[in-house]
Amino acid sequence: MQSQPHPTIGSLLRSLRARNGWTLKQMSERSGIPLSTLSKVEHDRLTLTYDKLQQLSQRLNVRMSELFAEPDDAPEPPVTARRSIGRIDDAVRINTPNYDYYYLCPELRHKRMIPVVAHVRARSLGEFGPLVKHSGEEYTHVLEGRIILHTEFYDPISLEVGESVYIDSNMGHAYVVGEECEEAVVLSVCSSVEETLMASLLGLHGEEGATPQAVSRHPSAPTTHSPQRAPERATPVKPKSKLRQ
């Protein structure tokens, strides 16, 4: 059985045009890219720079991911039947000045959802520093204590135990401890269509001031791979607040 040819920018662009019923001239007029250039791209005689791809995305009002979407008749992805049980003792722990992170289910690679239990310590936005942002969306549920959520476009809100929030993670945001509360514990689930989400989140920790010594794993937990560093094996560090398993 012959394998399907790997899609090129030309074939993907041709499929996008066909899905929308555009002629080459219509796509040229809509995108502002010369017809001759688009024709060469579709016949794989020329490629487009990232700037031109952005121009296509903006002018055609489609997301960049749609430009690289394979035709609808592509076979459905197989069921992976993946499963992982999240336990604090098996989590990857990363300490930063603002949070203690416990990344759950670390043995699953290329996750589209990243579950994290976080201990929030910063008491004010001034102590927290600049708002953080990353690709995708996130859901945060308060397990213990009280938090204040600061965001780029909304007034701060206070969340108690049992309350939650769903936000666009591309928007600058910060979680700090609420009044009369020394520490809060939250469960956050971050999601993105990009398979590099985990790398993006780990990259933020470097900006927040995480140190190599702050990364630890339970000795029995499987090893995961980070673009910055491999987690060190260490004696498991129990969270300050007891969490229900």
Span 153-211, pLDDT tens digits: 999 999 999 999 999 999 999 999 998 899 999 999 998 766 556 566 666 655 555 44
* CATH placement of domain 88-233: 2.60.120.10
List strands edge to edge, sheet with 173-177. Answer: 157-159, 147-151, 173-177
Q: Average pLDDT, whole number, for the chain?
A: 77
- pLDDT on residue 211: 43
**Region(s) of the chain under CATH 1.10.260.40:** 9-67
Residue 139 has a pLDDT of 97
Report the first-to-last Cα separation within the chain, whole angstroms.
47
Note the pLDDT of residue 192.
Answer: 74
Closest CA to 147 of 190, 182, 111, 191: 182
Instruction: Name the residue with tokens 């090129």.
Output: 8
Cα 97 off chain centre by: 21
Fold of 9-67: 434 Repressor (Amino-terminal Domain) (1.10.260)
Which pLDDT score is estimated for 77?
65
Positive or negative: CA dihedral 215, 219, 221, 223: positive
The C-alpha atoms of residue 151 and residue 131 are separated, in whole angstroms, by 8
Give the percent of the chain with pLDDT over 70.
69
Residue 136 has pLDDT above 60, yes or no: yes
14 phi and psi angles, rounded to 5 deg: -65, -40
Q: Is residue 237 over pLDDT 50?
A: no
Burial string for 197-228 (b: 16+ CB within 10 Å, else e) reads bbebbbeebeebebeeebbbbbeebeebebee
Provide the token pair at 210: 């995480």
Domain with CATH 2.60.120.10 in the chain: 88-233
At residue 111, the pLDDT reads 79
pTM: 0.54
**Which residue has better confidence, 85 or 6?**
85
Strand pairing class (215-217; 232-233): parallel
Which 3 state secondary structure label does DSSP give 87?
Answer: coil
Section 5-23 average pLDDT? 80
Residue partners of 100: CB distance under 8 A and separation at least 6? 93, 94, 118, 119, 121, 239, 240
Side-chain half-sphere exposure of 169, counting CA atoms within 13 A: 20
**Kind plus residue range of the DSSP H or E element containing 198:** helix 197-208
Q: Which of 100, 106, 128 lies closest to 186, judged by CA?
A: 100
Q: Are 98 and 45 within 8 A, CB to CB?
A: no
Residue 110 has pLDDT above 90, yes or no: no
Residues 6+ apart with CB under 8 A from 44: 8, 9, 10, 11
State the pLDDT at residue 67.
Answer: 65
- At residue 232, the pLDDT reads 38
Please give the Cα distance from 31 to 35 (Å, whole number).
10
